[in-house]
Amino acid sequence: RPEHPDTEGVRCNLVPGVGELFVMPCLTTSGRADILFWEGIPGGPLDVFAGVKDPAEHLSLTLELMERYVPWEYARATKVELTDAGGTLAGRYAPTVRNPIGRLPGGGLVLGVADVVVANDPITGQGSNSASKCAAAYLASIVERGDKPFDEEWMRATFDRYWATAQHVTKWTNAMLAPPPEHILNLIGAAGELQPVADRFANGFNDPADFENYFYDPEKTQAYLVEVSGAGAA
């Protein structure tokens, strides 16, 4: 639970070469709380939770790392307590795109949904967004199919329909896992000064396809910033 219950919004603290601490407000079955979420580089200083089973030890280790790497956040969390004995979680996985169709022992086919087939790192917060968009794409394909069989060909076409959106989520998420290049730092810096840049970047959480137009390529980024700066000056 937070020491400051009026705190709102997600706070992200980047520690170069180490990882990130996210502080995320949430509502639990026992009331308002904040999630202290470390996301670390495999094999790095934050990769120390393997084998930690005791919730109190988990919390103590989390706070120790906060004190070492983000003391400004630690200063806000000195009086935290767990919401309950199950209030800790640790794990890891590699971002993966799987074959969307599975074959059952009896020969039947199943079509995977959402992060069963497209598992992205949570750094961009796209899990629920992607699951909702996958469900919408699959529903549209089901309705359009009518009385025709839901065979393997249909399953692949249905997944491809979802992948048309999901591929942009995957590309953006993987890009955000890497150390940001100079043009991205310039873009994020500009977002702090220019509202249109901040708005466009924020809207990318809903439509990551737009990042193709100004995010990945340094020349496109520079051209976009020049355009926005010029419009602001005018």
Q: What percent of the chain is predicted at pLDDT more than 90?
A: 79
pLDDT confidence of residue 233: 52
Least confident of 7-11, 209-213, 217-221: 7-11
What is the rounded distance in angstroms from the CA atom of residue 220 to the CA atom of residue 126? Answer: 24
C-alpha distances in angstroms, 51 versus 20, 37, 40, 140, 154?
21, 17, 16, 44, 44
pLDDT confidence of residue 122: 84
Do strands 96-97 and 31-40 pair parallel, antiparallel, or not at all (unpaired)?
Answer: unpaired
Q: How many CB atoms lie within 10 A of CB 192?
A: 9
Q: Evaluate if residue 3 carries a pLDDT over 60.
A: no
pLDDT confidence of residue 232: 58
Mean pLDDT, residues 116-135 taken together: 92
C-alpha distances in angstroms, 33 versus 53, 72, 136?
21, 19, 31
What is the rounded distance in angstroms from the CA atom of residue 18 to the CA atom of residue 7? Answer: 26
CATH number of 96-177: 3.50.50.60
Mean pLDDT, residues 24-32 taken together: 91
* pTM metric for this prediction: 0.78
pLDDT confidence of residue 8: 55
Per-residue tokens: 178: 């890497």
User: Cα–chain-centroid distance for residue 187?
Assistant: 19
What is the rounded distance in angstroms from the CA atom of residue 37 to the CA atom of residue 66? Answer: 10
Angle ∠(116,121,125) on CA atoms, nearest 5: 95
More confident residue, 55 or 94: 55
Q: Topology of 1-92 in CATH?
A: D-Amino Acid Oxidase; Chain A, domain 2 (3.30.9)
Domain-wise residue ranges, the chain: 1-92, 96-177, 182-233
The 10s digit of each residue's pLDDT in 78-121 is 999 999 989 999 998 889 999 999 999 999 999 999 999 999 99
Mean pLDDT, residues 7-32 taken together: 86
Tell me the HSE value of 215 on the side-chain side, using a 13 A CA sphere: 23
